[in-house]
Each structure stands twice: as C-alpha cells, then as structure tokens.
Amino acid sequence: MNQMQITQPDDWHVHLRDGDMLNHVAPYTAKQFARAIVMPNLQPPVTTVKQAVEYVDRIVNAVGDSQFEPLMTLYLTDDTSAEEIILAEKSCFVKAVKLYPAGATTNSSAGVTDIRKCDDALAAMQEAGLPLLVHGEVTDPDIDVFDREKAFIDQVLMPLMNRFPRLKIVFEHITTADAVDFVLNTGLTIGATITPQHLLLNRNAMFKGGMRPHNYCLPVLKREQHRQALLHAATSGNRKFFLGTDSAPHSKDKKENSCGCAGIFSAHAAIEMYATAFEEQNALDKLEAFASFNGPDFYGLSRNTETITLERTPWQIPDSYPLAGGDTLIPMMSGETINWKLIK
C-alpha cells in the first residue's frame, strides 16, 4: 500500500500552550487534525468556563483561517464547584474536565490533592455526561516512578469508578499492560488514549548512548513488554482505545536542563508516526478507527466527513523548529527519516 486515505483524525489530548508557543505549535495540530481536546494546564490553569472562552479565542487566532475546532477542558481543583460544571456543560465547547493529581506533572501544582474533595463536581459531571480525563499516576514519592500508573489504578481509579459508576472516564496516555487490562476489563464508560511515543519507544530510548531528555515525558516510557501491549490494544480494533498525542512542547533550553521538563512534541508528524506504529503491527487497516472513529464515538460527537491522504514517501524530520527569541523546539524523531507523509 503506497497511499492511504482515511477520515480526518482528531487529537483527543494535546497541549497547545499559550502566547508565542501557542502561535508556533497550534498550526501543526490544525494541519493534521479536525478537532483536538486541548489541555488546560496553563499558568494559571484554565479552571473556569470564562477562562476557557478566552483561551479559545487565542487558539482560533493562532490557527488563522483553518477550520480546526478546539474542544476545551477545565482543570479540576479541590474547589471546582458543581455550578461551574453545569456552566461547562451548557457552554457546548467545554467537552471534558481534567484531573491532574497535584504534583504529578507539568503545571499540576494547582491540581487535586484528594479526589474525595471533588465529589460535588464529579457528581455533576456524571449527571451532565461530561467526561473526566485522568492523568493516571499517583504522586507518592515512595512509589517507584515506573509503578505509579499501576498504583493509580488500584488506589484511585477503581474506588472512583465504584463511587461514580456512570461517570465517563478517559484514562489518558496509558503506558502499561496493566492499564490496557484494566480498560479491557471495565465497562463502556472507560476509554483510553495512546500516544505515538508510547507506541514507538520503550524506556531504552531515554538512555541510548547517554541521557536523552527529548524522550522524557510523563508518564515515563516503560519496558518493551508494555509497548507491545499498547501496540496490540491500539491495533486491536477495540473501540475503547483512541488517538491522543499528548504533544507537549517545551523549548530546548527547558528540556536540556539540570531539571528538564517532561513532555514530547509530536504535533509536526503525529499521524505519520501513528501510521508507522500501525504498520509495524501490519495493521494499517485499523488506523482509521483508532484515529478518526473511536474518539468521537466515545465523546458522543459526530465523525469527521473530510479525508486526509498519507503517502509512502520517506522524508527527514527537521532537527529543530524555531521559536520566538532564538529559542528552538526539538521535535520527536528529530533528524530521523519517517516513511509516511501527510500529503493533504
């Protein structure tokens, strides 16, 4: 197969940032995807519908005359009220609420300290049918960083599901066989996104010939056996799994640092990287459902009607992209050759 046409995909988890960074990165997402679920972990975080409206304006401005539709999220805090959830549902453009356990990742310090403090908001979400998107890692420093997703399933997710059995939950950027099994063994209220880096890389990629900060993200890359489980899940055709890049740009300076930021920028070639992973499994025929159908079906939104075309044309990913003020952005697969190209 040298050309492939699929329904235009959506990105169900992306960081578009703000200010200059937003203006630089949003066009990459808008070129590939019809819609994207935009993460709210700005500084300050997007905790209210009013802030989300203002952020939408800045995103629309950043993508120029593109038809791209940003789908917004609110950042859940210990103080999020049921009233704010009702406002969000009525707004029609806020599509979900994001749970960051406080301290789990970039800009999560305002996140949730104890999920039980959010019961009013969660009850309102369950009633409104507004999904909860979870960063599924515990923050306990005594728990090994590679085990934090599994611990989150046992300590937070299972009790949460039992307390709110009708709450829709997306287990974001899953990284382990444990998460795959959990999603497979729960009801249709639970979906999961999978990133290109967790499909293409295992944890060796962080240490190949030296420290590789540009392959550091959270949840951190895992062992090969987990990557294999994710590949199987993504390409299985199971409708609970869908595309979410977690493209998370940080400038080169912030990555190559004595305390480097977590996050991998993948928006420049996201669908091409997913195609590469699906081809590794001989499952290109399953790409369209994962990238373009399962996400809108889970969220109860219509599927896109436009199509995109991918061609087998090797091209070299740039070493870096320029940012304002002389900064640069190092993309995933920087300088490497990729076999698929989005041509329209």
301: partner contacted, choices Zn ion, ligand NCD, none (Cβ within 5-8 A by kind): none
**Closest separation in Å from C-beta 220 to ligand NCD:** 8
Q: Does 135 bind ligand NCD (CB under 6 A)?
A: yes
**Closest separation in Å from C-beta 106 to Zn ion:** 8
191: partner contacted, choices ligand NCD, Zn ion, none (Cβ within 5-8 A by kind): none
Q: Does 137 bind Zn ion (CB under 5 A)?
A: no
Q: Does 217 bind ligand NCD (CB under 6 A)?
A: yes
3-state secondary structure string, the chain? CCEEEEECCCEEEECCCCHHHHHHHHHHHHHHCCEEEECCCCCCCCCCHHHHHHHHHHHHHHCCCCCCEEEEEEECCCCCCHHHHHHHHHHCCEEEEEECECCCCCCCCCCECCHHHHHHHHHHHHHHCCCEEECCCCCCCCCCHHHHHHHHHHHHHHHHHHHCCCCCEEECCCCCHHHHHHHHCCCCCEEEEECHHHHHCCHHHHCCCCCCHHHCCCCCCCCHHHHHHHHHHHCCCCCCEEECCCECCCCHHHHCCCCCCCCECCHHHHHHHHHHHHHHCCCHHHHHHHHHHHHHHHHCCCCCCCEEEEEEEEEECCCCEECHHHCEECCCCCCCEEEEEECC
**Closest separation in Å from C-beta 288 to ligand NCD:** 25
Q: Does 263 bind ligand NCD (CB under 6 A)?
A: yes
Q: Which of 10, 142, 246, 327 is catalytic?
A: 246
- Check if 147 is active-site: no
Q: Does 218 bind ligand NCD (CB under 6 A)?
A: yes
Q: Does 246 bind Zn ion (CB under 5 A)?
A: yes
Question: Which of residues 248, 291, 323, 332 is near ligand NCD by CB under 6 A?
Answer: 248
Q: Does 262 bind ligand NCD (CB under 6 A)?
A: yes
Nearer to Zn ion, 45 or 124 (CB): 45
Q: Does 139 bind ligand NCD (CB under 6 A)?
A: no
Q: For binding to ligand NCD (CB under 6 A), which residues are involved?
A: 15, 41, 105-106, 135, 217-218, 246, 248, 262-263
Where in the sequence numbering do the catalytic residues fall?
246
Q: What residues make contact with Zn ion under the rule CB under 5 A?
A: 246
